[in-house]
Amino acid sequence: MISISDRVDGFFNRNVIPEVLQRGRAYYLSGHVESVSIKPLQKNIFFGVKGTMSYQVFLNVDIHSVKLIYEMGCNCPYSGKGACKHIAAAGLWIKANWKTLSLSFDKNQEFTWPEVSKIDQASLEITENGWLLKNFKSFNREVLYRSLYKRHIPELRDFTIRQADKGHYEITLAIRKTYFYSQAEIFTLNAVSDNIDLKLSCSCGDERKRVCDHIAVFLKEVSGKQLTALFTDLDEDFVEKKGAEMLNNYGFDKEANWMDYFEIGFSDNVKTIVPKPSLSNLISPELWSLENPGSAFSTNPNHELPTISDTDQPDFEMGFSLEFDPYDGDFDLIPIVARANKKGVPMSIGFKEYDKIGFSDHVVKQNRDISLLALCNALSVSFGSESMDEKIKYLLEYKTALEEHPNIYLNTAPSHRNFRKGDLLDVKFQSTAPRLKYILTEKDGFVEIQVAFNQGGAEVFLNAENIEDLHRNFLKSGEHIYLLISDSDINHVRSARKLDGKMVALSKLPALFEKYLGYALKSSDVEFINFKKYAVSTQTVTAVAKEIYLSEVGNFVLFRPFIRYENDYLMDALSQESQWEVGEEGIVKTEQDMQKADEFRNELCEIYPMFKDQFSRTDYLHISYRDLMKDNTFIKIFGKFEELEIKVFGLRDLKGLKVNPYPGKVIYSVKSGVDWFEVEAKIAFGDIEIGIDQLKKRFIPGSDYIELSDGSKGIIPAEWLKKLERLFESGEVKGDKLLVSSKKFTLVEELFDALDDEVTLQINDKKSKLLNFDKIQTHPLPKGIKGTLRHYQEDGFQWLCFLDEFKWGGILADDMGLGKTLQIITFLKHVILKTKQANLIVVPTSLLFNWENEIKKFAPSLKVHFYYGSQRIKSTDNFKKYDIVFTSYGHALSDIEVFKDYNFNYVILDESQAIKNPASKRYKAVRLLKANNRIAMTGTPIENNTFDLFAQMSFLNPGFLGAAKNFKNDFAKAIDTDRDENRAAELQRLIKPFVLRRTKKQVATELPDKTEEVLYCEMDKSQQKVYDAFRNEYRNRLIEKIDEEGVNKARFAVLEGLTKLRQICDTPEILPGDEKYTGKSVKIDLLVRHIKEKTANHKILIFSQFVKMLRVIEGRIKEEGISYEYLDGQSNTTQRQASVEHFQEDETCRVFLISLKAGGTGLNLMAADYVYIVDPWWNPAVENQAIDRCYRIGQDKKVIAYRMICKNTVEEKIMELQKKKKAIAGDIVTTDEGILKKLNKDDLMDLFG
């Protein structure tokens, strides 16, 4: 059997539309099912469901049937498709409580929830004179529903109750006869209560033995709790306390007897103490019920702002009928047609709806008719009270057309669809609320209050018989219908109608002013008659400020303009005319300065012309967010506010305004330093400021906006967009300052208009030097240099002197072997003649002896000190005795605390690519060294990628290339990854004055030829088998890793795999791990054959990246009896020097085995003319350095270099990728940069293919 829950779902699918089911679910979850009564014998379930009122639901159920629910009923007015939401809520109760239902039906036991004891259970019984409701305090609607089984009863529009005598009550009912008739019928119920039972009779005279419709509809409206409150005597203590309270609230003497003025009665159908009939017009400001008193004179923009698009609607006319449905609280505008009578009077006979005209009928439609037909169509789309706000918004769009149309009617027919001419009342539509006038008359200790308005020159009082509330937004006065647009209009008119004709004790007049009149009289007229106790006076005050208060509704920003006056008076600038106060001195009216208010409104119109059409509204203006954001309108508006000194409040509370409305103001100062210009800057957006450090973090090049601390976005001034972009590209943020290299003085002058005298003087001095610069001046070579400089070396010396003059740092980047050391020695000899400050040269440990030899050879007169070794004295005290101090990179790092406080003349870095990583401790250490200037030496300024250049240039000219992140994004990534030729050319132009690079091809034409060849090798079966096994293993592993984690996260595994495959290409013997591989190495076999057979008596350099490979080669050539030297990273300085001298000077020593890392730089090995790179990698710059150990100035033999490559392996593919990925710019930016970082998945899979 299908479960009860599933069968309920089937019932829903058949009978309840989704929207109604959703509402029913909300009702059920909110506890609207108030009562349940299960009658298993009759298979009926009765529910009490609370909606707008309490409704009774009936379901006929068979739990053993697939259909489950056979009949249903509810006494609500729902007339839509299928079941109502109350029935849906009842069905959901069944789903949730199916066990209770099954148990009740299976045992034939009735179930009632909530449970009521049989003794106290309410019951409805017939009597001789009517009906008796026993135990009425326990009454619930299920008691009534049993008597109304499947019976429809009319709707109760309203009821009033009065106490005729103790225990005797008279109830007046207004009954709506049918759904289609709006007029009410009046019936009277008589009730007698003894505080336990309630006797009820009705004036209808229904003699049938059933509860009449009118008693039924009354009992349906009230609950047991309400019946208890209505028909139970008040507690005596409550009565006495309430009587004393009423004397005070109404302004009577506290010692008086309250029963002289008050009696027990009903107020808004609540039993309490009320004024006697003779004082029925007396009010108490404390007790009087206003319409939303706190906001009675403020608007609700949700009801007012238009939702339809702004289109130009011409003025149209026609005959239209306004129809109001008091039951639904709805209204419609229906187009009607009529013929002229015989006398030619239009709209006189043959009235009918426009929709009912026949094909043969001819209707003359003027433009005004077409306009209002559009309004009718718009109104017809929305129906019911839930859509009322939308309908009012449509009316606002067409209010002028309605006002001007001559044929507007009010349909008074009971059924609006069946009307006659006599049912149509000719009315005049008014699009604004009437201006009210309060008439206050002092009389016998009371103040009588009247409220009137002017209509056609006559004074009409709000409580006149012909005043009628047609609808929440419509007031009828005679033949006039007033549209109450805003909530303030609605609340004001409703409250004023309650007040008209009332009176208040004179002592309570201040309280009434405080609660109501003080608001009402701000924009209403008033007349004081016969006032004696309170003198009425008027005062003027001086305006001190204009203010705008902002808020938001939906997609609109609301502007509420106020004028602040002395003594802290604040008045609405749109509609308020005065402010009222009542004190001991009397009633004081403070007048608005209307001239100031007019000026303020005119200013607002000039700021935003669309405001002009909104001035008819009471207290706010509006702009949609869409219009506010268009063309930076908000910037213009708030800029004007600031210019006109209009204070703005509430800006930060606008959740929809994501942009700060104030234009950014840049405030800056620039100070000069030794290496830097220090820029302190901030941008202010109103009262929000953002400093240079946060500005740098949040600035996005190309974007006008920047995120502010309050979550909004500030608009950066257009003239500063490019300036900031260039500043952040060129400068480096340190704390709250931006440091710009002093080399970029032209940039500072260009970007900043206001500079102090010191900065201006420094810039002018640098400009003067440049303006007077024609060419590099020729300086005589210093005396004491033992050797002849080649022409390009002399040019290098002059270039270094040029940098010295301008105090610029530079990179001497000549090819390996072109004599950079000699050029530096010559330059230092030159500067030593000008200053006796010591100079510091930092070199790789392996090159210390080279420098020592070069100094002895070319400038033995220089006094040098080698700060090196475990016996070094960690002090700078004796540095002043020397011309040059040498140290290693290792000691510069470990002893930086020794070096950092000494001021050197020059700091020179040899093989400066050693500091290429700006995050390294080595780089950070050398940056701490103090010097008048700095020089770098390297044959490969860019060894791996373009970013290598950044750290070296930052050491030389701090800040010249800007911040690391900017350089990486703007240059390194653009050149290395995106292959951007324009960026490469731009970087070349930028660094050109600071980098001098000459190649052997350019300047050493006397050098013999150098031949570079690829020596292909083919592995034997055993070596190939090992290679294939590792290749397949890593390929499968990488495919899985790349698919799971992406290429970037798999790069370490890629590098590991490539390294092992390269090692196998050398020989499987050098693979790491416990497993040992044996077998031949094709490279070693070929290498030995070349040494013995191909190279005769020539000397050979053999380089490998793997020390283990060098050791295997060493063992093999030992076996062959070949004399050799060996050098790797474990060789100390003494060993290095001895090995080099032996190889250079001993003719029998033919082979030098060198690790690529240890011997790739600083060695002079010109005795060799054959070079073998055993395991090429994809950094040819490093390999070129190795080759240049023998191919350098002084070499007189032809040099032949071989790169050994195993066929059909990763080595061959790496060589192909080198060519494919090679750089696009010239030498200085030629990189081969860690191609690994640029490989995509296809490239990587191809390597392992």
Residues 371, 315 contacting (CB under 8 angstroms): yes
Residues 1162, 1186 contacting (CB under 8 angstroms): no
Point out the least confidently predicted range of 72-86, 469-483, 532-546, 799-813.
72-86
- Looking at the fold, whether 1137 and 1175 belong to one and the same domain comes out as yes
pLDDT of residue 452: 95
Pairing of the two strands 446-455 and 503-505? antiparallel
Q: Name the more confident of 328 and 367.
A: 367
Domain final residue pick, 657, 690, 720: 657
Most confident of 274-278, 395-399, 418-422, 888-892: 888-892
Q: At what angle do helices 4-15 and 98-106 cross, to 10 degrees?
A: 110
- Looking at the fold, whether 158 and 256 belong to one and the same domain comes out as no
**What is the mean predicted confidence (pLDDT) over 702-729?**
70
User: What three-state secondary structure class fits 269?
Assistant: coil
Residues 1172, 1204 contacting (CB under 8 angstroms): yes
Whether 508 is in a domain gets the answer: no
**What is the mean predicted confidence (pLDDT) over 49-64?**
82
The encoded tokens of residue 1212 equal: 């061959």
Q: At what angle do helices 18-29 and 85-96 cross, to 10 degrees?
A: 60
Give the C-alpha separation, 1139 to 450, whole Å.
120
Point out the least confidently predicted range of 285-299, 776-790, 1007-1021.
285-299
The length of the chain in residues reads: 1249
1012 Cβ contact list (under 8 Å, min separation 6): 1187, 1201, 1203
CB atoms within 10 A of CB 627: 17
Q: How confident is the model at residue 22 (pLDDT cuts 50, 70, 90)?
A: confident
pLDDT at 649 over 80: yes
Which sign does the torsion angle of CA 71, 74, 77, 80 carry?
negative
pLDDT at 807 over 80: yes
pLDDT at 629 over 70: yes
Give the C-alpha separation, 722 to 702, whole Å.
8
Sheet holding 424-430, edge to edge: 349-353, 330-339, 319-325, 407-411, 424-430, 480-483, 474-477, 467-471
Give the C-alpha separation, 958 to 827, whole Å.
22
Point out the least confidently predicted range of 134-138, 498-502, 1132-1136, 1228-1232.
1228-1232
pLDDT of residue 208: 74
The encoded tokens of residue 1175 equal: 């395991």
Q: Tell me, what DSSP letter sits at residue 284?
A: -
- Tell the burial category of 623 from Cβ atoms under 10 Å away from its Cβ (0-12, 13-18, 19+): buried
Whether 811 is in a domain gets the answer: yes
Q: How confident is the model at residue 527 (pLDDT cuts 50, 70, 90)?
A: very high
Whether 310 is in a domain gets the answer: no
CA distances to 320, 411, 491 from 470, rounded to whole Å, are 17, 11, 15
Residues 1103, 1171 contacting (CB under 8 angstroms): yes
- Looking at the fold, whether 247 and 227 belong to one and the same domain comes out as no
Give the C-alpha separation, 1100 to 1201, whole Å.
10
The encoded tokens of residue 644 equal: 């006109």
- Looking at the fold, whether 894 and 861 belong to one and the same domain comes out as yes
The number of folded domains in the chain is 7
pLDDT of residue 173: 87
**What is the mean predicted confidence (pLDDT) over 86-95?**
90
- Looking at the fold, whether 1019 and 1168 belong to one and the same domain comes out as yes
Q: Name the more confident of 1157 and 258.
A: 258
Whether 369 is in a domain gets the answer: no
Q: Name the more confident of 662 and 996.
A: 996
pLDDT of residue 1229: 37
Residues 956, 916 contacting (CB under 8 angstroms): no
Mean pLDDT of the chain: 81
- Looking at the fold, whether 998 and 891 belong to one and the same domain comes out as yes
pLDDT of residue 610: 86
Give the C-alpha separation, 1130 to 1158, whole Å.
9
Q: Name the more confident of 1237 and 107.
A: 107
Residues 937, 854 contacting (CB under 8 angstroms): no
Pairing of the two strands 995-996 and 864-867? unpaired
Give the C-alpha separation, 891 to 758, whole Å.
39
Domain final residue pick, 113, 140, 170: 113
- Which ranges of 500-618 would DSSP assign to H, the alpha helix? 509-512, 518-520, 594-607
Whether 403 is in a domain gets the answer: no
Three-point CA angle 753, 756, 759, nearest 5°: 95
- Looking at the fold, whether 817 and 708 belong to one and the same domain comes out as no
Give the C-alpha separation, 40 to 37, whole Å.
10
- Looking at the fold, whether 1225 and 1112 belong to one and the same domain comes out as yes
Q: Name the more confident of 206 and 1154.
A: 1154
Domain final residue pick, 771, 803, 822: 771
Residues 274, 267 contacting (CB under 8 angstroms): yes
Q: How confident is the model at residue 810 (pLDDT cuts 50, 70, 90)?
A: very high
pLDDT of residue 1230: 37
- Looking at the fold, whether 553 and 647 belong to one and the same domain comes out as yes
Cα 985 → chain centroid: 39
pLDDT at 435 over 80: yes
Give the C-alpha separation, 1033 to 173, whole Å.
93
**What is the mean predicted confidence (pLDDT) over 1003-1017?**
78
- Looking at the fold, whether 1092 and 1161 belong to one and the same domain comes out as yes
- For residue 233, give the H/E element and its range: none
Give the 3-state secondary structure of 884-895: EEEEEHHHHHHC
User: What three-state secondary structure class fits 1217?
Assistant: helix
Residues 1099, 1167 contacting (CB under 8 angstroms): yes
pLDDT at 915 over 90: yes
- For residue 854, give the H/E element and its range: helix 848-858
pLDDT of residue 867: 95
- Looking at the fold, whether 610 and 679 belong to one and the same domain comes out as no
360 Cβ contact list (under 8 Å, min separation 6): none
pLDDT of residue 367: 76
Point out the least confidently predicted range of 118-132, 799-813, 956-970.
118-132
Q: What are 1150-1163's pLDDT values in tens digits?
A: 999 998 877 766 67
Whether 362 is in a domain gets the answer: no
The encoded tokens of residue 238 equal: 């409550």
pLDDT of residue 236: 79
Q: Name the more confident of 585 and 412.
A: 412
Q: How confident is the model at residue 1115 (pLDDT cuts 50, 70, 90)?
A: very high
CATH no. for residue 1106?
A: 3.40.50.300
**What is the mean predicted confidence (pLDDT) over 825-845?**
93
Q: Name the more confident of 731 and 989.
A: 989
Buried b (16+ CB within 10 A) or exposed e, 158-195: ebebebeeeeebebebebbeeeeebebeebebbbbbee
What is the number of alpha carbons within 13 Å of residue 335 lying toward its C-beta? 22
pLDDT at 675 over 70: no
Q: At what angle do helices 1051-1066 and 1210-1220 cross, to 10 degrees?
A: 120
Sheet holding 111-113, edge to edge: 69-74, 54-61, 44-50, 33-39, 111-113
Pairing of the two strands 503-505 and 184-193? unpaired
- Looking at the fold, whether 753 and 897 belong to one and the same domain comes out as no
The encoded tokens of residue 1090 equal: 């070349």
What percent of the chain is modeled with pLDDT above 90? Answer: 22
pLDDT of residue 832: 92
pLDDT of residue 1245: 58
Point out the least confidently predicted range of 578-587, 645-654, 1218-1227.
1218-1227
- Which ranges of 382-501 would DSSP assign to H, the alpha helix? 388-397, 399-404, 487-499
Residues 1186, 1199 contacting (CB under 8 angstroms): no
pLDDT at 1221 over 50: no
What percent of the chain is modeled with pLDDT above 70? Answer: 84
**What is the mean predicted confidence (pLDDT) over 46-50?**
86
Residues 999, 1227 contacting (CB under 8 angstroms): yes
**What is the mean predicted confidence (pLDDT) over 36-57?**
83
Q: How confident is the model at residue 115 (pLDDT cuts 50, 70, 90)?
A: low
pLDDT of residue 352: 83
pLDDT of residue 772: 55
pLDDT at 233 over 90: no
pLDDT of residue 1224: 34
pLDDT of residue 689: 81
Terminal alpha carbon distance of the chain: 64
pLDDT at 770 over 90: no
Domain encompassing residue 53: 4-113
pLDDT of residue 751: 66
pLDDT of residue 1228: 39
| DSSP letter string, 1093-1157 | IISTT--EEEEES-HHHHHHHHHHHHHTT--EEEE-TT--HHHHHHHHHHHHH-TT--EEEEEHH
Q: Which residues is 835 bridged to in the sheet?
A: none
Q: What are 921-974's pLDDT values in tens digits?
A: 999 999 999 998 999 999 888 877 888 899 998 898 877 777 787 788 888 888
pLDDT at 297 over 70: no
pLDDT of residue 782: 93
pLDDT of residue 1247: 61
| DSSP letter string, 762-826 | HHHHHHHHHHT--SPPP-PPPTT--S---HHHHHHHHHHHHHHHHT--EEE-PPTTS-HHHHHHH
Whether 302 is in a domain gets the answer: no
pLDDT of residue 926: 94
Q: Output phi, psi for 180, to 5 deg.
A: -90, -5
Whether 1136 is in a domain gets the answer: yes
pLDDT at 1060 over 80: yes
pLDDT at 909 over 90: yes
